Amino acid sequence: MKVLFSEEQLQHGISRMAAAINERFGSEPLTVICVMTGSLILVADLIRQLDMPVKLGSVHASSYKGKTSRSNLQLDASMLPNVKGTNVLIVDDIFDTGHTLNAVHQHIESLEAASVETAVLLYKHGRQELDFKVNFVGFEIPDEFVVGYGLDYQGIYRNLPYVGVLESHDLDPDE
């Protein structure tokens, strides 16, 4: 596995993103929605750098079955707070095809939030299947399979303090 972003680089990118979010929302209260499970570490680091009052909630979105193949998106919004009339920031680990963030965004909008914006740690080029604009991006990356800092492969590697690229010999050949 090769390191794509070191722990120090990640923290610098998250600080840049937090500064942009602070500038955008000022002192207005913000409801941050963590797209579980991949963005858990990002959200923990990000919200500690936000200056406004923050309410936290989560949704569980899953579109991968075991390995690296995408399947039907499943969304569990049972852990969402009441967002009606609030400013909401949806935070996800990676923007890949766009399906997950789009589905969560549409769901939050249906709950009559005052505004809904999005932030991702990684924006992967070349895989988008939807025309969707992400408001805050930590890093742009090429189309490679990444793990660490919350991102996983078959449920492992989320605990790595950096983002690494899995090389072909790291992946299951039966994929």
Q: Which residues are tagged catalytic?
A: 96
3-state secondary structure of 166: coil
Distance CA 88, CA 109 (A): 9
Q: What is the CA radius of gyration of the chain?
A: 16
Cα dihedral across residues 133, 139, 142, 143: positive or negative: negative
Tokens for 104, please give them.
Answer: 């969560």
Report whether 115 contacts 88 (CB < 8 A): yes
Q: How far is CA 42 from CA 32, 39, 174, in A?
A: 12, 5, 31
Q: Give the tokens for residue 13.
A: 């990118």
